[in-house]
Amino acid sequence: MIVALDVGGTSMKGAIMDRALDRTATVRRPTPRGEAAVAAVVDFVADLFTQAGGAEAIGVAVPGIVDDETGVAVHSENIGWHDAPFRDLIEKRTGVPVAVGHDVRAGGTAELRLGAARGTRNSLVIPIGTGIAAAMVIDGHLCVGNGFAGEIGHMSVGADEPCVCGGTGCLEAVASGPAIARRYARRTGHETTADAVAARVAEGEPDAVAIWAETVGWLGTALAAATVIAAPEVIVIGGGLSRAGDLLLAPLTEDIYERLTFQRRPRLTTARFADEAGCVGAGLWALDLLESR
Amino acid sequence: MIVALDVGGTSMKGAIMDRALDRTATVRRPTPRGEAAVAAVVDFVADLFTQAGGAEAIGVAVPGIVDDETGVAVHSENIGWHDAPFRDLIEKRTGVPVAVGHDVRAGGTAELRLGAARGTRNSLVIPIGTGIAAAMVIDGHLCVGNGFAGEIGHMSVGADEPCVCGGTGCLEAVASGPAIARRYARRTGHETTADAVAARVAEGEPDAVAIWAETVGWLGTALAAATVIAAPEVIVIGGGLSRAGDLLLAPLTEDIYERLTFQRRPRLTTARFADEAGCVGAGLWALDLLESR
């Protein structure tokens, strides 16, 4: 058996899987804020390990800046930890091999090997949820950059909105799920969620339509810039916002294509694994550990 | 002996070198426009080959979209050719192995192996001359993307200026050498060159200072976006504009750092090989051919 954990900005998804990645259990817990989240992650993995009656290997996907080679979570804006040595902590606790890496690269691994980016050598897999980042594959190589590659959520799109990172106008500050809900609430006075905004867009509600069009423009700005640099054949949208489907993909594709000239036009699609991509990718990493030993 | 050719937007530089890359001859010719440039490149290489009394291998660096694997120059905005099969044409003419690739990736190869990016695993090498593009190395891998990777010159920086590519507001349309000269001329009524503008900046001439500050801002916008995605440890500025040295590097470094928050801050430096990088890189590719056979 294998234990896989995907740590998100608001909740953690844990799974017990066999070597075919078929699950025998899936468990969710909320993600605490700050350094308390470190112990919560290690405890959650240890509990799953016990529940599985032991496991052969463990894969853990975490957000922020992560050094996949040392298994250290260097920094997370949303959660608030610094230099958390997850691989060492979990190996000490369980005694089995542990792979720790970026949640978005875990999702990218899942989409690349089993999902929407399969068969391509150049792709961007971009979950849009509490945060926004990209798993970037160029010439078949999944880019890490010591943990700093693909942080498209903190590319400036020229918006006048402060970001949790300390910058202004970052993509994540205007186009993440919470940001879409916040912008809609500010415009209308009604608290809501990004899913609800999408539902109102489908109904043609003017405020929702206006917020959505702005969001598409900002996503288009950042994805066109990323396309100019990274030359993806396919852009895979994942995370909560991918539930909007063609309501997002159709105008976003049009927006990006309008910004490109001679560049290769990427195909846009939604993730196969939706918000399960991180857990599947963490499972694939755990399998990789077993194969390499 | 080796023949190396670097095809630029305005002139072609040819060199005859030994295996240590020491030159016995360097020759320049103007670059024609349109399909006539194809024959001009092949003739130039053949003449150098004859002048060398034969050569063991040939390296050719060309601008635009180039498929390094097939040796075909797919497209060049500035020159105007399409699907020129340079590798086949030159191998047929000379009978020796030929490597054809992107001029900017040739320059990147030179800086990475012998120059300003040596010892790093993540870098951007960006010549700023008639055109602007980047050789992008991530995790030690020189990104190709079927010829489309690193085309930072056609990233929109939000300027209100038409670009030769058909887009508007591309970095190249405002920050290339000719673009700087054109913007200065439009502001002052005086025709000049980017070098002359830089000289006037050093003297504190207000119009030149204003044009320079705008240019730095646009370069900073694009390089910060590229840094967010590609996470370079070092950004190497080459091409004609690198002759400005600290007049460019100091304000550009400050501008980029102001745009970054948690990201790794790249060191900015000028190219070791200046505008010779393409020729040196083409020579290294020719050597690679000899080593691989």
pLDDT tens, residue order, chain A (293 aa):
999 999 988 899 999 999 999 999 999 999 999 989 999 999 999 999 999 999 999 999 998 889 888 899 998 878 999 999 999 999 999 999 999 999 999 999 999 999 999 999 999 999 998 889 999 999 999 999 989 999 999 999 999 999 988 999 999 999 999 999 999 999 999 999 999 999 999 999 999 999 999 999 999 999 999 999 999 999 999 989 999 999 999 999 999 999 999 899 999 999 999 778 899 999 999 999 999 87
3-state secondary structure of B150: coil
Backbone phi and psi for residue A134, each to the nearest 5 degrees, phi listed first: -125, 140
Residue B44 has pLDDT above 90, yes or no: yes
Rounded to a whole number of angstroms, the distance from the CA of A64 to the nearest CA of chain B is 10
User: Facing residues of A15 across strands?
Assistant: A4, A26
Distances (CA, A) of B5 to A106, B149, B175: 43, 22, 26
pLDDT at B9: 82
- Contact of B70 with B59, CB cutoff 8 Å: no
- Give the integer Cα–Cα distance in Å for A257 and B293: 43
DSSP string spanning B26-55?
Answer: EEEEEPPSTTHHHHHHHHHHHHHHHHTTS-
- Contact of A154 with A169, CB cutoff 8 Å: no
Instruction: Pull the structure tokens for residue B183.
Output: 């913007």
Q: What is the mean pLDDT of residues B156-178?
A: 95
Q: What is the mean pLDDT of residues B191-205?
A: 97
- Residues of chain A positioned with their CB less than 8 A from the CB of B163: 261
Residue from A262, A263, A264, A265 to probe the interface with B (highest B Cβ count within 10 Å): A262
Residue in the structure block whose two tokens are 């009656």:
A53
- Contact of B27 with B67, CB cutoff 8 Å: no
pLDDT at A10: 86
Distances (CA, A) of B252 to B216, B255, B264, B272: 6, 5, 16, 18
Whether residue A263 and residue B156 make contact (CB cut-off 8 A), yes or no, is no
How many Cβ pairs within 8 Å bridge chains A and B? 123
- Give the integer Cα–Cα distance in Å for A163 and B263: 14
Phi and psi based region of residue A169 (left: phi greater than 0; alpha: psi -120 to 50; beta: remaining): left
- Give the integer Cα–Cα distance in Å for A156 and A175: 12
Rounded to a whole number of angstroms, the distance from the CA of B179 to the nearest CA of chain A is 19
Crossing angle of helices B194-202 and B246-259, in 10° steps, is 80
Q: Which residues of B234-243 are buried (b: 16+ CB within 10 A; e: fewer)?
A: bbbbbbbbbe
Rounded to a whole number of angstroms, the distance from the CA of B138 to the nearest CA of chain A is 6
- Give the integer Cα–Cα distance in Å for A182 and A235: 26
| H/E segment holding residue B229 | helix B206-230
- Give the integer Cα–Cα distance in Å for B45 and B130: 22
Rounded to a whole number of angstroms, the distance from the CA of A242 to the nearest CA of chain B is 21
Whether residue B231 and residue A149 make contact (CB cut-off 8 A), yes or no, is yes
pLDDT at A206: 98
Residue B275 has pLDDT above 80, yes or no: no
pLDDT at A292: 86
Residue from B74, B228, B233, B258 to probe the interface with A (highest A Cβ count within 10 Å): B228
Crossing angle of helices B277-292 and B103-114, in 10° steps, is 80
Residue in the structure block whose two tokens are 């030690």:
B140
Minimum-distance CB partner of B262 among A144, A165, A226? A165
A159 by Cβ neighbours in 10 Å (0-12 / 13-18 / 19+) ranks as buried
User: Facing residues of A59 across strands?
Assistant: A4, A99
CATH 3.30.420.40 maps onto chain A at 2-102+275-292, 116-271
ipTM value for the complex: 0.90
- Give the integer Cα–Cα distance in Å for A127 and A104: 7
Distances (CA, A) of B50 to A248, B29, B58, B91, B97: 59, 16, 12, 14, 15
The pLDDT tens digits of the residues spanning A242-262 come to 999 999 999 999 999 999 998
Q: Which residues of B43-61 are buried (b: 16+ CB within 10 A; e: fewer)?
A: ebbbebbebbeebbbbbbb
Least confident range of A251-260, B72-81, B137-146: B72-81
pLDDT at A46: 97
Residue in the structure block whose two tokens are 């005086």:
B190
Please, what is the Cα angle at B162 between B161 and B165, to 5 degrees?
140
Closest CA to B7 of B70, B60, B68, B85: B60
pLDDT at A277: 87
Minimum-distance CB partner of B139 among A145, A163, A228? A145
- Contact of B157 with B171, CB cutoff 8 Å: yes
Nearest CA in chain A to B163: A261
- Residues of chain B positioned with their CB less than 8 A from the CB of A262: 65, 75, 77, 154, 165-166
Share of chain B above pLDDT 90, in %: 89
**Domain at A116-271, CATH from 3.30.1330.10, 3.30.420.40, 3.20.10.10, 3.30.420.480:** 3.30.420.40
- Give the integer Cα–Cα distance in Å for A151 and A132: 8
Minimum-distance CB partner of B152 among A229, A259, A264? A229
pLDDT at A199: 97
Q: Which amino acid is at A213?
A: A
pLDDT at A78: 80
Closest CA to A3 of A279, A247, A290, A215: A279
Other residues' Cβ atoms within 10 Å of the Cβ of residue A241: 26
Instruction: Pull the structure tokens for residue B123.
Output: 């870098």
Nearest CA in chain A to B221: A156
Whether residue A151 and residue B263 make contact (CB cut-off 8 A), yes or no, is yes
- Give the integer Cα–Cα distance in Å for A204 and A117: 32
CATH homologous superfamily for the domain A2-102+275-292: ATPase, nucleotide binding domain (3.30.420.40)
